[in-house]
Amino acid sequence: MSVALSAQDINRALTRISHEIIEKNQGSANIVLLGIPTRGAHLASRISSIIASIEGAEVPTGTLDITLFRDDLRMRPPRAIMPTKIPTTGIEGKDVVLVDDVLFSGRTIRAALDALGEIGRPRTVQLAALVDRGHRELPIKADFVGKNLPTSKNQSVKVLLSEIDGRDEVTIEEEAQ
């Protein structure tokens, strides 16, 4: 097991991502942040408070559960459905930034795009990921990346966040074959 990002690295990465989001969207007025549960939701609320402290205005932030839109539902045991909370501003005509912890095959994001389509029509959809570990199976790319981690397919990337795991850390583990 090796540590890829320390607590301080995560903090810096989120601060940079927050600045990039503001820069790309020329302010935070039209942004809606949607985190993908579980850890993406915590990252979204952290980014939200960083943006609020920079811009001095709250950013509508919510969560988007994608379980019901997965394409691998039949291949594994059913997962518990997590809450979806769309901010009262809605997403119609907004610049929606999806936030997830690890970007891997891209299938989660495909499902998230489907889930968004059921809710409304944003002006743009952007993607922020704390870690991009490669091995995409779909034509999907992140707009904001905390860190690119080159990994092999039989490694697993674990993101720990203080809200649920008690500490902030990203590790890479060799999976037992």
Partner 1 sequence: MKHLLSISNLNKSEAISILDTASELSRVSDGAVKKLPTLRGRTIVNLFAEDSTRTRISFEAAAKRLSADVINFSAKGSSLSKGESLKDTAMTLQAMGADAVVIRHPASGAAQRLADSEWMSGSVVNAGDGTHEHPSQALLDAFTIRKHLGMGGSDLSGLSVAIVGDILHSRVARSNVLLLSMLGAQVTLVAPPTLLPVGIANWPATVSYDFDSVIPHVDVVMMLRVQQERMTDLFFPNAREYSRYFGLNSDRMAQMKSGAIVMHPGPMNRGLEISAEVADSARSVITEQVTNGVSVRMAILYVLLAGGALEVGSN
* Closer to partner 1 by Cβ: residue 50 or 130: 130
Q: How far is CA 54 from the centre of its chain?
A: 20
DSSP state of 30: T
Residue 155 touches partner 1, criterion: CB under 8 A: no
Query: What is the distance in angstroms between the CA of the first residue and the CA of the last residue of the chain?
Result: 15
One residue of 8, 23, 118, 166 binding partner 1 per CB under 8 A: 118
One residue of 52, 54, 119, 140 binding partner 1 per CB under 8 A: 119
* Closer to partner 1 by Cβ: residue 101 or 132: 101
Q: Which residues pair with 3 in a beta bridge?
A: 171
CA separation for the pair 1, 48 (Å, rounded) = 31
CA separation for the pair 28, 51 (Å, rounded) = 8
One residue of 1, 26, 56, 75 binding partner 1 per CB under 8 A: 75
Residues that bind partner 1 (CB under 8 A): 37-38, 65, 68-69, 73-84, 114, 118-119
